[in-house]
Chains A and B, each alone.
Chain A
Amino acid sequence: MVKRRILLWFIPGLIVGVIFILGFDRAVEATSTNDFCASCHVHPQATSSWKQGVHYATQSGYRVSCAECHLPPKGEGYLVEKTKTGLRDLWSHWTRDSADFDWEAASSLERASKHVYNSTCIKCHENLFPAKLTREGSDAHLYYNKMTEKGEELQCISCHLNAGHYMKDYTHGSNKSFGLAGSRSDTVFSAPAIVDSFASFTEQVPGSGVTFRMIALPGGKFTMGSPDTEMLRKADEKQRETTVDSFFIAETEVTWNEYMEFYRQTATEGRSTDTEGARLNKAGVDAVSGATPPYGKPDQNWGMGMRPAISMSYHAAETYCRWLSSVTGKKYRLPTEAEWEYACRAGTETPYFFAGDPKGFTKKGLFKSRPDTAVINTYVIYNLNSHSRTQEPSAVKANPWGLRNMSGNVAEFTADIYEGTVEHVIRGGSYRDDAAGVRSASRESTRTDEWLKTDPQMPKSIWWYSDCFYVGFRVVMERNEELRMKN
């Protein structure tokens, strides 16, 4: 009797259990189909680029679905990630309109690495050395292997960002044709601008139609750093009285137009002589040898023109200044950190060169989902308005001394060494930074090793960072003796 009773409970229990498990499995499957994804993720652009991409129309005929790339493999955190992303998606579905999402920004490498999993790539692509792999590819995958053995994590999409979704003009190989095409201006200057007084002027680059504005800043005394009372400040912003001499500073960060002129006039083709030693000795005033071709797209496919140039190494930025000095007959260089902050503050002593406090411009912190960013938006390209990329200088207003993008857009190299390191100070914050990082006193440093992490070339490029897209630079020009006497 007892046995019967147990059976009586056991059998229905078993059936319910089986149904539950089957049902659960079904539910997992049903909520992982492409149609199910598309029912909430209304992003025609992503859908069409997926259909144009290599994983939709594969050679083998297998079609890779959304969840296959955007979730880790089953058994490797699949259910956990599915639950997390599912809850996040539900929340967004109820609270936000998908038309407001910045889908393009979501496809940037930085954002993409948060919803693409290496383990998933490797699960299908278990052989990284297929028979048809090119020599360049072999070198790159060998590099990946060696880094992985050392415990350094590299992302597959660092080089294969277009794997899931088609990207126009994307390339991850050596980009030998970089900068060769492109429209040249009708005007070609035969001589640089003549500067005979300490006043702002427009520089013209001989042999090209490239111009840029240089603003004359009379020297002065100011307080560098931030007071202890400043919100969101960091410990490395200690205040001190500082004096700077008069100098000229560019109105904007060096644009791609300017940088590409340098690249065209100085670039060297092969990599065979691209070794630090050989170059450093040769880089005289008369013949500056410049960058070798980059790997992939240094502009991240965001467009070039008036956007600030990015991805160039500190060494390349310094070489640019040397080249610019030689073709214009002036003395261009990177600003010192003091000159930079003096120019950025433009006489102000507040967190920004405009009114407002950092906490008012950030989303971080409790109950801060909709900060009032009206003021900062007119001056600074930062994380809440940048769409995860650089913007043209015309998108913002200048600071009181007529300089644009001192804060935000791209962080800028300075000539100073960050104390206690061998890295250089970078200032101003970038399109990726929160309100705290674009304050006038905010400081960061270069991170050379990290910025070259995915460069598969041997040796690594001394001209291009493979993993840094948020730093550029701005040039300053020294007043020469003649001008010094005049003023």
Chain B
Amino acid sequence: MKNSGITRRNFLGKAAVAGAAGIIVPTIITSCSTKKSKEVIMPVMPEKAPDGPLLKAGLIGCGGRGTGAALNFLHCGPNLTVTALGDVFTDRITSCRERLAKDGVEVAEESCFTGFDAYQKVIDSGVDIVLLATPPVFRPLHFEAAVSAGKHVFMEKPVAVDPVGARQIMATGLKAKGMDLSVVTGTQRHHQHDYVANWAKVQEGMIGEIVAANCYWNQSQLWYRNPDPAWSEMEYMIRDWVNWCWLSGDHIVEQHVHNIDVVNWFTGKKPESAVSFGARHRRVTGDQYDMFSTDFIYEGGFHVHSMCRQINGTEGNVSEWLQGTEGSSNCQNAIWNKAGEKIWSFEGYKLDEKGIMTDQLPISPYDQEHTDFVTAIRTGKPINEAEAVATSTLAGIMGRMSAYTGKKVTWDEVMNSELKLGPDVYVMGPVEIVKTVPVPGE
């Protein structure tokens, strides 16, 4: 390791000491002819959030991820609690409430709200923080309401299913900035120590200028639910939400946004156009595809191949890959030079009982993102990830639009698109939308 940079140990140590202050690491870009020094500002990632006055959070969307987010929040530092819950379904509230009770957090009956307007009641219940974890179609509305009420927001990705929603997130994020509110967005790789360390190396110029990238989320079938005669169509769709485009944005947005976001983050750029293939082969319910393959052309002209698939019995891969003029990176724990020799690897993983390095991080990124969130609030140094996640979400939407139509879609088109998915009003009952699976071309 010839590089001056930052080893994980000393940057973690320094970060802990420096508390909230960002560490500026001046380095030299090694790429081509320009030998300008570049400052890489490392994010602050303390092990625990500092103490402070009690912070009360309200959770909107009490499913698995919502409950998980609430627990991550509760564990990230002292003097944190959850005082209100909201969901469209009572059974979700009940299960979430029971789970939180196991951790000693009792949410009062009168602070549990159900229905499509539950979000506003949670926001108005006297909380300081709102955790948003409903299906993404509701995110722009909930985020806007939370920020208007002056709440700090943790929200899950993705943040929208259509361009209208993504723009609403961008604008609301800028409002939050003006109000010094913190917004953290569930793109947890930004808070994952191996990714952050690799990002710093790439920013320092270890792989030179980025000339191409790949990103993948290929996995087996996700999950689905069959209709129940006791449920209205709306209730069924929401319970089966990862299979309906208007609720999830399709899996290129819902899941693969993570990987597109990593490429955006590492390159500091966004795609300018997309040409996608996509199809539905084996999905059981809903109107979504189960595979996408997209050729993004990024600002500056380099290509990024993105692929995602949710089909059983197929090759799995969830990762990213960057090719630079001087080497390549897997964005996580390794960097190679042009000859293919590993020139950097992440060494901060947990050791097992024999002292051999595992692939487990000492701090899970799901905890770390809340630690960073609460630290930002308590130290008065707001962080705001809204625009970045909205940009990545919109990139996924662009890929989806191209696959559905078979046409090239540009950033300007998607940025100016009036596409808005889903019904105009949310009520339990039949859902008046087109439910056919899109077929590209004529």
Interface, chain A (partner B; CB < 8 A): 127-131, 133, 135, 138-139, 141-142, 145-146, 271-272, 275, 458-460
A133 contacts B175, CB within 8 Å? yes
Contact B175 A131 (CB under 8 A): yes
Give Cα A128–Cα B179 distance, bound, in whole angstroms. Answer: 11
B418 within 8 A of A: yes
Query: Is there an interface contact between B415 and A131, defined as CB atoms closer than 8 Å?
Result: no
CB neighbours (8 Å) of A272 from chain B are 418
3 closest A-B pairs (Cβ-Cβ)?
A: A138-B171, A127-B178, A129-B174
B416 touching A131 by the CB < 8 A rule?
A: no
Assess the B171–A129 pair: CB atoms within 8 A: yes
Give min CB distance, A404 to chain B, whole Å.
40
Q: Does B168 contact A (CB under 8 A)?
A: yes
State whether A142 touches B417 (Cβ < 8 A). Answer: no
A174 to B44, CA, bound (A): 44
Judged by a CB distance under 8 angstroms, whether B111 is at the interface is no
* Contact of B148 with A131 in the complex, beta carbons under 8 Å: yes
Give A232 to B415 CA distance when docked, in angstroms.
Answer: 44
Instruction: For the complex, give the distance between the alpha carbons of A28 and B150 in Å.
Output: 42
The verdict on A460 contacting B179 (CB below 8 Å), with A141-B171, A142-B174, A145-B174 known, is: no
B167-183 vs A, CB cutoff 8 Å, 1 = contact: the mask equals 11011101101110000
Please give, as numbers and ranges, the residues of chain A lying within 8 Å of B416 by CB-CB distance: 458-460
Contact A135 B168 (CB under 8 A): yes
Give the complex CA separation of A156 and B147 in angstroms: 25
Contacting pair A129 B168 (CB below 8 A): no
Nearest CB to that of B150 among chain A residues? A131
Partner of B178, one of A129, A139, A142: A129
Q: Is the CB of A130 within 8 A of B175?
A: yes
Complex Cα distance, B167 from A146, in Å, reads 11
Decide: B171 and A139 in contact? CB cutoff 8 A.
Answer: yes
Q: List residues of chain A with CB within 8 A of the CB of B174.
A: 128-129, 138, 141-142, 145
B171 touches A275 (CB 8 A): no
Chain B residues whose CB sits within 8 angstroms of the CB of A127 once the complex forms: 178
**Given the complex of chains A and B, what is the CA–CA distance between A256 and B367 in angstroms?**
64
* Residues on A with beta carbons closer than 8 Å to the beta carbon of B150: 131
Whether the pair A458, B168 counts as a contact (CB closer than 8 A) is no
B interface residues, how many (CB within 8 angstroms): 19
Q: Which residues of B have CB within 8 Å of A458?
A: 163, 167, 415-418
Residue contact B178 to A459, C-beta cutoff 8 Å: no
Q: Would A139 and B418 count as touching, CB distance under 8 A? A: no
B168 touches A459 (CB 8 A): no
Are B179 and A131 neighbours in the complex by a CB distance under 8 Å?
A: yes
Knowing A271-B418, A458-B418, the reply to whether A131 touches B178 (Cβ < 8 A) is yes
Tell whether, in the assembled complex, residue A139 and residue B175 are in contact, meaning their CB atoms are under 8 Å apart. no
CA distance A127 to B417 in the complex (A): 26
The answer to whether B175 and A138 have CB atoms under 8 Å apart is: yes
Contact check, A275 vs B418: say whether CB atoms are below 8 A apart.
yes
In the assembled complex, 5 residue pairs joining A and B whose CB atoms fall closer than 8 Å, in A order, are: A129-B171, A138-B171, A142-B170, A145-B174, A458-B418
**Which chain B residues border A139 with CB–CB below 8 Å?**
167, 171
Residues of B within 8 A of A271 (CB): 418
From A131, A138, A146, A460, contact of B168 by CB (8 A): A138
Chain A residues with CB under 8 Å of B172's CB are 138
Question: For residues 398 through 442 of chain B, which have their beta carbon under 8 Å from a beta carbon of chain A?
Answer: 415-418
Distance (whole angstroms) from the CB of A401 to the closest CB of chain B: 45
- Point out the residues of chain A lying under 8 angstroms from B144, CB to CB: 135
Structural contact, A459 and B167, CB atoms closer than 8 A: no
Tell me the complex Cα distance, A130–B171, Å: 10
- Which B residues are in CB contact (< 8 Å) with A275? 418
Interchain CB contact (< 8 A) of A459 among B147, B170, B177, B418: B418
Q: Which residues of chain A are within 8 angstroms of B163 by Cβ–Cβ distance?
A: 458
Find B171's partner among A142, A459, A460 (CB 8 Å cutoff). A142
Given contacts A130-B178, A138-B175, whether A146 and B418 have CB atoms under 8 Å apart is no
- Nearest chain B CB to A125's CB is how many angstroms away? 11
Tell me how far the C-beta of B298 lies from the nearest C-beta in chain A, rounded to whole angstroms.
Answer: 16
The B172-212 residues at the A interface (CB cut-off 8 A) are 172, 174-175, 177-179
- A131-B148, A145-B174 provided; 17 other pairs, C-beta below 8 A? A128-B178, A129-B174, A131-B147, A131-B178, A133-B175, A135-B144, A135-B168, A135-B171, A138-B171, A138-B172, A138-B175, A139-B167, A142-B167, A146-B415, A271-B418, A459-B417, A459-B418
C-alpha gap A142/B172 in the complex (Å): 10
Q: How far is the CB of A151 from chain B (nearest CB, A)?
A: 13
- Asked whether A129 lies within 8 Å of B415 as measured between CB atoms, the reply is no
Among A128, A458, A460, find the residue whose CB has the most chain B CB atoms closer than 10 A: A458
Which A-chain residue is minimally distant from B140 (CB atoms)?
Answer: A135
Q: How far is A135 from B167 in the complex, measured between Cα atoms in Å?
A: 10
Tell me the complex Cα distance, A320–B167, Å.
33
Tell me which residues across on chain B come within 8 A of A141, comparing CB atoms. Answer: 171, 174
Closest to A140 in B: B171
A145 CA / B416 CA spacing, docked (Å): 14
Name the residue of chain A whose CB is nearest to the CB of B171.
A138
In the complex, which residues of chain B have a beta carbon less than 8 angstroms from the beta carbon of A133? 171, 175
Residues of A within 8 A of B175 (CB): 129-131, 133, 138
Residues of chain A within 8 A (CB-CB) of B178 are: 127-131
Chain B residues near A129 (CB, 8 Å)? 171, 174-175, 177-178
Question: Taking the nearest CB of chain A, how far is it from the CB of B422, in angstroms?
Answer: 14
Query: Could you tell me the distance in whole angstroms from the C-beta of B343 to the nearest C-beta in chain A?
Result: 35
A460 to B415 Cα, complex, angstroms: 11
